[in-house]
Amino acid sequence: MTFFLDLTFQIFFGLCYIIRKNLYFDRFYNTLCIILSGYITMPIRHNIGYHGTLDIRANAIISQNHFIPSSKDTEWLGEGVYFFAHKQHAIDWATCEAKKPQNAGEKSCVLSADLNYADSEWLDLDDPAQLQMLNDFVLAYKERMGTSSIAPSVDLTTHKKYLQWCFVCNLYRRLNPAIRLTSYTFHFKKTFIGLWQNQLQFCVNDSTVISNIKKEALL
């Protein structure tokens, strides 16, 4: 239905353009654009994210239909709910959680969820242009370090990398509130054949991005 509605609007805009070119109805054309622009839907991206956790926590998430965002200052992509793009990475994470001494006797679990967002709401740090924007932001911040009242100052020259990343992502999103999801591909150890093991992660800082939460695998 949305497709045909958008197509109708596109044809309508085309006819209006012809009218504008031939009859110079600029005021009519511009007014029509303003009115109809609100009815044209923005393209929405869709991903499935995988969240590794303990079974007891998974049950609570499903019953409440809500994830509790991580607020630790050690999160590489800042505060938010974390998902992996690949299920195996979530399985590995959940398995490690279940093996911790404080979680003895607990079962691990993987949840999947739909992640829906527009390009304008996505900070894609695998995109060279967006990564450069973030880098420029950091350089500008370093020049006036300590003057920000939005977040506590973090020394971007001496603090550990994960503290720097967390601080920068949090601050950048607060100054750009349209961002609802951040993603980045982390590179880990090389495999036996010499290829890097990559891990794409999503950090969701707006819960409205998340829907259709369900158990994917009980390990």
- 53 and 116, same structural domain? yes
Q: Could you give the CA distance from residue 71 to residue 60 in angstroms, rounded to a whole number?
A: 18
- 114 and 9, same structural domain? no
- Report the length, in residues, of the chain: 219
Mean pLDDT across the chain, nearest whole number? Answer: 80
Determine the pLDDT at residue 7. Answer: 46
- 84 and 146, same structural domain? yes
- 204 and 100, same structural domain? yes
- 55 and 16, same structural domain? no
Residue 185 confidence class, pLDDT cut points 50, 70, 90: very high
Determine the pLDDT at residue 22. Answer: 47
Q: Could you give the CA distance from residue 174 to residue 168 in angstroms, rounded to a whole number?
A: 10
CB 203 within 8 A of CB 181: yes
Number of folded domains in the chain?
Answer: 2
Token readout for 168 is: 């920068």
Report, as an integer, the average pLDDT of 137-163: 67
- 199 and 143, same structural domain? yes
Q: What is the pLDDT of residues 40-69, one digit of tens each?
A: 556 789 999 999 999 999 999 999 999 999
Residue 154 confidence class, pLDDT cut points 50, 70, 90: low
Q: Which of 12-26, 132-146, 151-165 has the lowest mean pLDDT?
A: 12-26
pLDDT over 80 (residue 18):
no
pLDDT over 80 (residue 29):
no
pTM for this one?
0.75
User: What one-character-per-residue DSSP string does 113-157 give?
Assistant: EEEEEEGGGEEETTSHHHHHHHHHHHHHHHHTTT--SSS----TT
Three-state DSSP class for 47?
A: strand
- 135 and 30, same structural domain? no
Q: Which domain holds residue 23?
A: 2-37
- 174 and 100, same structural domain? yes
Provide, rounded to the nearest whole percent, the portion of the chain with pLDDT above 70.
72
CATH number where 55 lies? 3.90.228
- 118 and 79, same structural domain? yes
Task: Find tokens 């992660």 and name the residue.
Answer: 201
Provide, rounded to the nearest whole percent, the portion of the chain with pLDDT above 90.
55
- 86 and 27, same structural domain? no
Burial of residue 14, with CB atoms counted within 10 A of its CB: 0-12 exposed, 13-18 middle, 19 or more buried: exposed
- 130 and 110, same structural domain? yes
DSSP structural state of residue 208: G
